[in-house]
Amino acid sequence: MSGISGNQIKVKKNADLTAFNTLGVKAKADKLVEVDSVEDLISLHKSGFFKTNEPFILGGGSNVLLLGNLSNPVLKISIPGIEVKKEDRNHVLVEIGAGVNWHSFVEYCVINNYGGVENLALIPGTTGAAPIQNIGAYGVELDQVFDSLELFDIRSGKVKTYLKEECEFGYRDSIFKCDLKGKVIVTSVTLRLTKSHHKINTEYRALSEFLREKQIFSPAIKDIFDAVVAIRKSKLPDPSLLGNAGSFFKNPVVENSVAEQLKDKHADMPAYEVDESHKKIPAGWLIEKAGWKGKQFGNVGTYRNQALVIVNHGGATGHEIYDHAKKIKESVSEMFGIDLVPEVNIFGNQA
CA 160, CA 344: separation in Å to the nearest integer? Answer: 27
For residue 91, what is the DSSP state?
E
8 A C-beta contact, residue 28 and residue 69: yes
Active-site hit among 37, 118, 172, 174: 172
Range list of β-strands (E), the chain: 10-16, 28-35, 56-58, 64-66, 74-77, 82-87, 91-97, 136-137, 140-141, 146-153, 159-163, 184-194, 243-247, 253-255, 272-275, 278-280, 296-297, 300-302, 309-312, 345-347
Catalytic annotation on 343? Answer: yes
Show the beta-strand stretches assigned E in 195-269. Answer: 243-247, 253-255
d(CA 240, CA 121): 17
Residue 263 CA to its chain's centroid (Å):
30
> Could you give the CA distance from residue 167 to residue 144 in angstroms, rounded to a whole number?
13
Active-site position among 39, 166, 288, 343: 343
Mapping DSSP to helix (H, G, I), strand (E, B) and coil, where does residue 62 land?
Answer: coil
- What residues are labeled active site? 172, 247, 343
